[in-house]
Structure 1
Amino acid sequence: MKILVHICCAPDAVYFLKRLREDYPQSEIVGFFYDPNIHPYEEYRLRLLETERICKELGIELYEGEYDLESWLSAVKGYEDEPERGKRCAICFDYRLLRSLQFAKEVGATHLTTTLLMSPKKEFLMLKESGQKVSEGSGIEFLALDYRKGGGTQEMFRLSRELELYHQDYCGCIYGLFKQKKGPVQWDLVSFGGRRPGSKEELSFIKGARLFAEQELGLSCKEWEFGFLNWKVLQGKLEVKGQTIPSFVRPYSPSIRGLLKADPVEKVGRVIYYNKGGLRVILTEGLRDEPLEFFDNLCSPTFLVPKEYEESLLRNRVSAELQAEINPDKSLILLIGSLDAEDIAYLPADTLQDGRGISMEWLREFLTKEQRGIALGRKAYLLAGASSLGKPGARYFEERTGRKVSPLLCSQTS
């Protein structure tokens, strides 16, 4: 007996796969992550990473299906406004289970099931009907397993918390995002490039690091979620004589109402001060962002500009535009190694506005080199989110654990 399990996400899968193995101990179980409905792609990658982690934890082979979003969108066209658990969901189930059935045949499975059956957000009978319909006459039996009963849902949530799994706040598709998400959804649909603080890209990087550290290197890991005051620049521009000056905006710079025209007053060190709106320009070596070492509460619109423009900035009036948002947000810190390690150093999980930051390739090589020291308790490393905004993750860790951390200096972060 070989069972192909269509997997939708790690929280729904963790208890389902555990029970399936207990109920069918002699069966070969194979996972298939086929979820082109999940949008945006960053959310898809995040759910896939967590699914990989639990499958490796349980020793279950996992295959990834195609991310054919356009085809899925065509399949549900005309049903965009359907309520959850309505006709669009039924079409979506048929679509994913039909492809899963095809893959089940490819790998020689005798039975098919899906972790969607575990989801409290899904209609069990609708899923059962879909599974039986697509598998009829195929020679593959659909297993409509109701593991929600008898405290199964509660055990699913308990295991998810215990394993510190990412728990999404909407089913997956763009239509569900707008209907189910509490609060604004635009940040779920926008990517700024790189791994900015609080972004799904940053979270995926941390989760990917955990997957590698635990499963490939056998190192212990522990996560904490922390809240911080996030800052996002929506639009910014600095002009001299109608010419745009290359620049970045210093974190926590507030918005400028309309167009600000200001004249230089003085230069102190590498900072040029202007006569209106608290405007400042910080001169930098080349066009590069600078991380905040600490949150200093200064609230002036500030641009980072290469020092080659110093003379022009000191001699001319500038025009500045800036729109930014400052809101409470959440990020993660990941401790790789023991909390009792002799020394704990931190690494930034996020990237600067210019894209600089450590890469996954660099991190893997670094952790592999440090594996023995980490395993012996001599060193531990804290991968901290939102580090470029005053290191709130590192400070939260110190407050939460009583341990001090030191920055790890490396070429990837300089």
Structure 2
Amino acid sequence: MIDLHEILDRMNQSQKINYDKILQKMIKNWQDQKIRPRILLHSCCAPCSTYTLEYLTKYADVTIYYANSNIHPRAEYQRREYVQQKFITDFNQKTNNNVQFIAAPYEPQQYFEAVRGLEKEPEGGERCEACFNYRLDLVAAKAVELGFDYFGSALTISPHKNSQVVNRVGIDVQNFYTTKYLPSDFKKNNGYRRSVEMCKEYDVYRQCYCGCLFAAKAQGIDLSQIRQEAKTFMQGKDAGKEFPDIKFTYHTKQQDD
């Protein structure tokens, strides 16, 4: 597997890095070597995973890791988790793919610890960077545990997220694990526009705030209303029973060979 550092070390570090071009180089390398790597991809919500999966599944086997203890309130976290699983199921059925799904435990106190002291930072500032680091660290650790070739995030599809920061954090996290970070800027090549189109095609719920308590308050979001709407949405729904086919199953390389 090609290491991101092999490409970055040959680049001018004083210039803004085009992470989309780097990903394209890595994909070409996979194709030249006739391999389909396993990617554990962090996704914060179904909308961010739409075009991202449409793109990556052409070249790799992808499992979505829903690790988002930053989302508040709990009912909204559960709604987004359900919608994520429904989208994966619908996507697999429509495209004949086999994207799988893993959910991390919902542990909001760990998130609050990760951003302690940064509560008053503006959206897009140091609090967001700390949040990226917290979640990507979880993804990298899980990727090592389960034997994935790469870990990455669908966050870069959002025009509201700084892809330079997300990728820088991912590269830093890679240095502490025996797995490789997948660089990306999925909003490129009309990726964000395609994600909006796919949300309409698949009837995917699009949330009105990133998820965290601090961003919601800054935007004046009525969290009581969000909680009630999410609870109403989830009535009678059971993702475990409705979407059993996407549950991640681990196969060792020896089993696959």
Q: What TM-score results when the alignment is normalised by the length of structure 1?
A: 0.46
Distance 1:30 1:63 in 2: 7
Match of 1:302 in 2: none
Distance 1:210 1:108 in 2: 26
Distance 1:105 1:210 in 2: 26
Residue pairs, 1:244-393, within 5 angstroms: none
- Return the letter of the residue paired with 2:42: H
CA deviation after TM superposition for structure 1 residue 185, in Å: 3.8
SS of aligned partner of 2:64: strand
Q: Does 1:36 align with 2:72?
A: no
Match of 2:130 in 1: 91
- How large is the RMSD of aligned CA atoms in angstroms? 2.0
Match of 2:158 in 1: 119
Residue pairs, 1:184-203, within 5 angstroms: 184-188=222-226, 199-203=229-233
2:47 to 1, 7, 11: 11
Q: Does 1:45 align with 2:83?
A: no
Q: Does 1:60 align with 2:81?
A: no
SS of aligned partner of 1:109: coil
CA deviation after TM superposition for structure 1 residue 167, in Å: 0.7
Distance 1:174 1:164, change over 3 A: same
- Return the letter of the residue paired with 2:44: C
Match of 1:79 in 2: 118
Distance 1:107 1:153 in 2: 30
The CA deviation string for residues 254-313 of structure 1, in whole angstroms up to 9 with x for no partner, is: xxxxxxxxxxxxxxxxxxxxxxxxxxxxxxxxxxxxxxxxxxxxxxxxxxxxxxxxxxxx
- Return the letter of the residue paired with 1:162: E
SS of aligned partner of 2:232: helix
- 8 Å Cα contact 1:170-1:181 kept in structure 2: no
Higher relative contact order (CA 8 A, sep 6+): 2
SS of aligned partner of 1:148: coil
Distance 2:80 2:225 in 1: 17
Distance 1:136 1:178 in 2: 35
CA deviation after TM superposition for structure 1 residue 50, in Å: 0.8
Distance 2:143 2:116 in 1: 27
- Return the letter of the residue paired with 1:30: T
CA deviation after TM superposition for structure 1 residue 181, in Å: 4.3
SS of aligned partner of 1:90: helix
- Return the letter of the residue paired with 1:56: T
Match of 2:12 in 1: none
**Which consecutive segments of 4 or more residues in structure 1 shift more than 4 A?**
209-213
- Return the letter of the residue paired with 1:122: K
Residue pairs, 1:91-240, within 5 angstroms: 91-181=130-220, 184-188=222-226, 199-205=229-235, 208=237
Distance 1:136 1:173, change over 3 A: same
Q: Does 1:2 align with 2:32?
A: no
Distance 1:45 1:151, change over 3 A: same
Distance 2:200 2:122 in 1: 29
Pick the structure with more strand per residue: 1
Q: Which runs of 5+ in 2 are unaligned?
A: 1-36, 93-97, 245-257
CA deviation after TM superposition for structure 1 residue 186, in Å: 3.8
Distance 1:205 1:120, change over 3 A: farther
CA deviation after TM superposition for structure 1 residue 204, in Å: 2.1
Q: Which runs of 5+ in 1 are unaligned?
A: 192-198, 217-414
Distance 1:181 1:137 in 2: 38
Distance 1:144 1:130, change over 3 A: same
Pick the structure with more helix per residue: 2
CA deviation after TM superposition for structure 1 residue 93, in Å: 0.4
CA deviation after TM superposition for structure 1 residue 72, in Å: 1.0
Distance 1:77 1:209, change over 3 A: closer
- Return the letter of the residue paired with 1:60: V
- 8 Å Cα contact 1:169-1:180 kept in structure 2: no
- Return the letter of the residue paired with 1:141: K
- Return the letter of the residue paired with 1:61: Q
